[in-house]
Amino acid sequence: MPSPLEIIRQNTREITPLPTGTSSKLSRIDGTRYLAWDIYGTLLISSAGSLGPGKTTEQILRNLLSENEQDLPTYSLETHLFNLIEQNNALSRKENCSFPEIEIREIWNLFFNSLSLNPPEDLDDFALRYELATNPVWPMPGAQDALTHPATLGLVSNAQFYTPLILEAFGLSIPEKATYSFELRHAKPGTAIFSEFLKDGPPPEEILYIGNDLLSDIAPAHQLGMRTALFAGDQRSYRPRHGRSDLPQPDAIVTSLAEIPLLLAE
């Protein structure tokens, strides 16, 4: 049986970022000494929603399940899966978690149990294969240099158990300080994941956070005092949130990861 890293390498293909037509806005940001990074859409090109001709998430799910050679319901399995996720999130919101995060392996267990289906021998592998098929990813140009830059402090990202495995499979360095949403059960755009990252670290005003979404990345980081750079390097994931005048503006806009070191204070 192939290892998770082998599964990732066998089921990923090169993806090229699409220009956004946005211009960089660069200037050194006073007091910044450290870098913190988002992952999906920033360090990784993410093609969720671009599955190719003739492919749907429903078909992908049914194809994976058919490998177990058991009868499947005729109604939408994708809808059933999403309903389980929403039910989980609704329970978390009742417990005063405004921006809940799932643990995807728990959801898959619920999925199989609720449909009286036999789970696969290795649920982690199943979850990984589904993720790779429905959310194709590839390293953003300059990702390794970004992660190994001397100023890089760590990662703050919505993620699941397979996210660090994907980084490892691509040969990307993983900083020691990494805060993932699935571990905390709190997701961006909430601030809880950022608060956890900032514990026992340098002052937030010394950290430049880089992400591709004005709402999910820039706003919560700014709220906690971090400096921010909006990454406009790929049309698929760039989220400037035009028309949202209630959101803070980033300290900089970059179209390439290579531009980030130019923002650090000398």
pLDDT values of the chain reduced to their tens digit, one per residue, 266 residues:
899 999 999 999 999 999 999 999 999 999 999 999 999 999 999 976 555 555 789 999 999 998 776 788 999 999 999 999 999 999 999 998 999 999 999 999 999 999 999 899 999 999 999 999 999 999 999 999 999 999 999 999 999 999 999 999 999 999 999 999 999 999 999 999 999 999 999 999 999 999 999 999 999 999 999 999 999 999 999 999 999 999 999 999 999 999 999 999 86
Residues 126-165 as b/e (b if ≥16 CB within 10 A, e otherwise) read bbbbbbbbbbbbbbbbbbbebbebebbbbbbbbbbbbbbb
Write out the H or E segment, with its range, that includes residue 263: none
> Can you state the angle between helices 104-114 and 77-94, rounded to 10 degrees?
120
Other residues' Cβ atoms within 10 Å of the Cβ of residue 78:
16
What pLDDT shows up at residue 54? 54
**34 touches 223 (CB < 8 A):** no
**Side chain identity at residue 202, one-letter code:** P
Q: Could you tell me the two tokens for 108? A: 């898959």
Q: Could you tell me the two tokens for 186? A: 């709190």
Q: In whole angstroms, what separates CA 227 from the centre of its chain? A: 20
What pLDDT shows up at residue 215? 98
Write out the H or E segment, with its range, that includes residue 220: helix 219-223
Provide the edge-to-edge strand list for the sheet that holds 177-180.
177-180, 152-157, 34-37, 207-211, 227-231, 252-254
Q: What is the CATH number of domain 4-47+136-263?
A: 3.40.50.1000
Q: What does the alpha-carbon distance between residue 217 and residue 47 come to, in Å, rounded to a whole number?
A: 18
Q: Could you tell me the two tokens for 103? A: 């643990």
- Tell me 259's DSSP state: G
pTM for the structure as a whole: 0.94
Q: What does the alpha-carbon distance between residue 39 and residue 177 come to, in Å, rounded to a whole number?
A: 13
What pLDDT shows up at residue 70? 72
Q: In whole angstroms, what separates CA 40 from the centre of its chain? A: 4
**125 touches 16 (CB < 8 A):** no
Residues 6+ apart with CB under 8 A from 116: none
What pLDDT shows up at residue 48? 64
What pLDDT shows up at residue 49? 55
Q: What does the alpha-carbon distance between residue 229 and residue 69 come to, in Å, rounded to a whole number?
A: 49
What pLDDT shows up at residue 69? 67
